[in-house]
Structure 1
Amino acid sequence: MSSVLYDAPGPRAKRRNVLLTVVFLVALAALLWWVFGTLKDKGQLEWALWKPFFSGSEAWSTYIWPGLENTLKAAALAMVIALPLGAVLGIARLSDHVWVRVPAAIVVEFFRSIPVLVLMIFGLALFAEYTNVDSDDRPLYAVVTGLVLYNASVLAEIVRAGILALPKGQSEAAMAIGLRKGQVMRSILLPQAVTTMLPAIVSQLVVILKDTALGGAVLTFPELLASANTMSGYYGANVIASFTVVAVIYIALNFILTSFASWLERRLRRAKKSTGAVLKADDAGAAGSNATGTGGP
């Protein structure tokens, strides 16, 4: 028995798959047991190290919530600016006009080739040298600037690839009925490409959320990961406990973001399905009778 994609496994292949699964589970259990034993021997599982997160709200109100707020603020600002900017640059790279296409390509390739951390450092220096931005706000501005420049360039390539992936017949048919290129892009290509591009766009938004941690590591931006360092020092070097809690928060945020994107993608796909009225049997019969009666010889 076979399917379109692969041949169905036989008895020997099934036994081999079961054996490999069992071996993997045993190895995973052994690894987890070793990690647990090592942490216990090092005293990292002592209740005193984990107590600040489960009894009282000082750790949350003083360190975690302010750091989480700064992380979400920087990520939200970067997403709101990078998404439309990336869409504009991606569409500009498809322009028929050289004076639009070439500058957009240069901007995208330039900022896409520079590490985002370097962009943040340059942004901090520029804000300090040429603007009147307060020193307390410069790290936030620098983080958002670096994230926008880099991720807008990546999103521009996602938009361009998503539009080019559509069949050429879509735009040719639209132009054949008299639509201009701007109308084709706005009404035909972009609505179809959004659903295709959504998984890649969401992946890049997750990258934006995680890359805010670079600002805390280098630019003293008080985001979530930076708060874990300060918190672990205050509560007696509970590094494992602090970073475990922060890691769980990052996982939860990314899960919420991807879940929302999956829901949005399903909704968009359902909206594209036909909404035409379905004829009942009586209506269809009457329509057929009328067509027969009025037809000529």
Structure 2
Amino acid sequence: MSDAVAVLYDVPGPKAKLRYRILSGVVLLVSLGIAYLIYLALDSKGQLTADKWDPFVTASTWTTYLLPGIKGTLIAAALSIVFALILGAVLGIGRLSDHRAIRIVSGVLVELFRAVPVLILMIFLYAVYAEYQVFKVSYLALAAVVTGLTLYNGSVIAEIVRAGVNSLPKGQAEAADALGMRKNQVMRIILLPQAITAMLPAIISQMVVALKDSALGYIIGYVEVVRAGQQVGAFYGNYLPSLVIVAVIMIAINSLLTKLATVVERRLRQKKRKTGGTVLAVSDFGGGPEGAA
């Protein structure tokens, strides 16, 4: 064994290795025992019988419960993701502003909405919208879910935007300034297009978070896929199969979203390589740093 590994931890001797094997075996046996007890509990309740899965091969279960739930999840997630991207871009750029007042206001909003749990935001907004009749009754839950997800995820994306722009070489902004470009032009044409490629992985993960957090809407009565699964379980008495089906649906939707975002990221990177990277972006507006000098 190398000296580098020995520095990180003490090399176990024969007795220590035997002790580790025994402990691993004990943990494995305990885990199997717990799994068996869970199996017995579920089997005694009849949750593992084949007839509990029969509702999911009938069209009425899907058209009455699951498909409307999937539709509700996709609508809430799509709206909140779009609005969160817009809000995150505005607040992120605001935190990079040269004006101190804009930076302070943007920073306060970001820290506030990041600190408040999404569920609390949804419940509070639902109460406010209902009290002041901001939306029709049929849209109250959707509006509260979308607004809550937008505020929280938008504040997180704002920090992603700020970090992405700050990660770029300072020479990009300096070269653009030397060419006489205004601050908003530098941000919109030079910095943001480059930062987006670096920010995409973090933005993708935040999109997945928004999609999963839409399930919290069931607390305020919003019909989404988790609530639909609970309704199926309550109606047919098959909670375990219902939750398994819901989990599979959510995994499939998240996988498709991640795949789509990965394809977009790959195309952006290919486009960036074809256009020659950051130097070409600056040189398109009157010459590169050498010409500015």
TM score, norm. by length of structure 1:
0.79
Hey, what does 1:74 align to over in structure 2?
Answer: 76
The answer to whether residue 276 in structure 2 is matched with residue 273 in structure 1 is no
Looking at structure 2, the residues matched to 72 and 91 of structure 1 have their Cα atoms a distance apart, in angstroms, of 28
Hey, what does 1:233 align to over in structure 2?
Answer: 234
**Amino-acid identity (%):** 52
From 126, 132, 135, the counterpart of 1:133: 135
From 89, 92, 95, the counterpart of 1:93: 95
User: Secondary structure in 1 aligned to 2:138?
Assistant: coil
Q: How does 1:47-66 map to 2 (within 5 A)?
A: 47-54=50-57, 56-66=58-68
Looking at structure 2, the residues matched to 32 and 250 of structure 1 have their Cα atoms a distance apart, in angstroms, of 27
Give 1:51's aligned amino acid.
Answer: D
User: Secondary structure in 1 aligned to 2:135?
Assistant: coil
Q: CA deviation at 1:77?
A: 1.1
Q: Kindly report the root-mean-square deviation, in angstroms, between the aligned alpha carbons of the 2 structures.
A: 2.8
Q: CA deviation at 1:264?
A: 1.0
- Go from structure 1 to structure 2 and tell me whether the alpha carbon gap of 1:212 and 1:31 turns closer, same or farther (over 3 Å shift): farther
More helix by share: 2
Q: CA deviation at 1:96?
A: 0.3
Looking at structure 1, the residues matched to 203 and 103 of structure 2 have their Cα atoms a distance apart, in angstroms, of 22
The count of residues paired between Structure 1 and Structure 2 equals 260
Hey, what does 2:248 align to over in structure 1?
Answer: 248
Q: CA deviation at 1:132?
A: 4.7
Q: CA deviation at 1:43?
A: 2.8
Q: CA deviation at 1:192?
A: 0.8
Q: CA deviation at 1:36?
A: 5.8
TM score, norm. by length of structure 2:
0.80
Looking at structure 1, the residues matched to 135 and 184 of structure 2 have their Cα atoms a distance apart, in angstroms, of 39
Hey, what does 2:118 align to over in structure 1?
Answer: 116
The answer to whether residue 259 in structure 2 is matched with residue 259 in structure 1 is yes
Q: CA deviation at 1:178?
A: 2.3
- Go from structure 1 to structure 2 and tell me whether the alpha carbon gap of 1:133 and 1:33 turns closer, same or farther (over 3 Å shift): closer
Looking at structure 2, the residues matched to 132 and 43 of structure 1 have their Cα atoms a distance apart, in angstroms, of 46
Looking at structure 2, the residues matched to 134 and 31 of structure 1 have their Cα atoms a distance apart, in angstroms, of 52
Looking at structure 2, the residues matched to 275 and 170 of structure 1 have their Cα atoms a distance apart, in angstroms, of 16
Looking at structure 1, the residues matched to 245 and 275 of structure 2 have their Cα atoms a distance apart, in angstroms, of 47
Looking at structure 1, the residues matched to 35 and 122 of structure 2 have their Cα atoms a distance apart, in angstroms, of 41
Q: CA deviation at 1:262?
A: 1.0
Q: CA deviation at 1:39?
A: 4.3
Looking at structure 2, the residues matched to 79 and 190 of structure 1 have their Cα atoms a distance apart, in angstroms, of 19
Identify unmatched segments of 5+ residues in structure 2. 6-16, 277-293
Hey, what does 1:166 align to over in structure 2?
Answer: 168
Hey, what does 1:221 align to over in structure 2?
Answer: 222
The answer to whether residue 49 in structure 2 is matched with residue 46 in structure 1 is yes
Hey, what does 2:290 align to over in structure 1?
Answer: none
The answer to whether residue 201 in structure 2 is matched with residue 199 in structure 1 is yes
- Go from structure 1 to structure 2 and tell me whether the alpha carbon gap of 1:155 and 1:171 turns closer, same or farther (over 3 Å shift): same
Range that drifts further, 112-121 or 129-138 = 129-138
Looking at structure 2, the residues matched to 136 and 163 of structure 1 have their Cα atoms a distance apart, in angstroms, of 41
Identify unmatched segments of 5+ residues in structure 1. 7-15, 277-297
Please give the per-residue CA displacement for 1:76-102, whole angstroms capped at 9, x wherever unaligned. Answer: 111111111110110011000112211
Q: Which of the pair has more CA radius of gyration?
A: 1
Q: CA deviation at 1:135?
A: 2.1
Range that drifts further, 77-86 or 267-276 = 267-276
Give 1:270's aligned amino acid.
Answer: Q
- Go from structure 1 to structure 2 and tell me whether the alpha carbon gap of 1:108 and 1:69 turns closer, same or farther (over 3 Å shift): same
Q: CA deviation at 1:220?
A: 1.1
Looking at structure 1, the residues matched to 204 and 33 of structure 2 have their Cα atoms a distance apart, in angstroms, of 32
Give 1:76's aligned amino acid.
Answer: A
- Go from structure 1 to structure 2 and tell me whether the alpha carbon gap of 1:31 and 1:140 turns closer, same or farther (over 3 Å shift): farther
Looking at structure 1, the residues matched to 34 and 160 of structure 2 have their Cα atoms a distance apart, in angstroms, of 38
Give 2:56's aligned amino acid.
Answer: F
Looking at structure 1, the residues matched to 74 and 274 of structure 2 have their Cα atoms a distance apart, in angstroms, of 38
Please give the per-residue CA displacement for 1:132-156, whole angstroms capped at 9, x wherever unaligned. Answer: 5222221111111111111111111
Range that drifts further, 85-94 or 175-184 = 175-184
Q: CA deviation at 1:170?
A: 1.6
Q: CA deviation at 1:32?
A: 11
Give 2:79's aligned amino acid.
Answer: L
User: Secondary structure in 1 aligned to 2:116?
Assistant: coil
Please give the per-residue CA displacement for 1:10-50, whole angstroms capped at 9, x wherever unaligned. Answer: xxxxxx9xxx9xx89x9599589746676445532211100
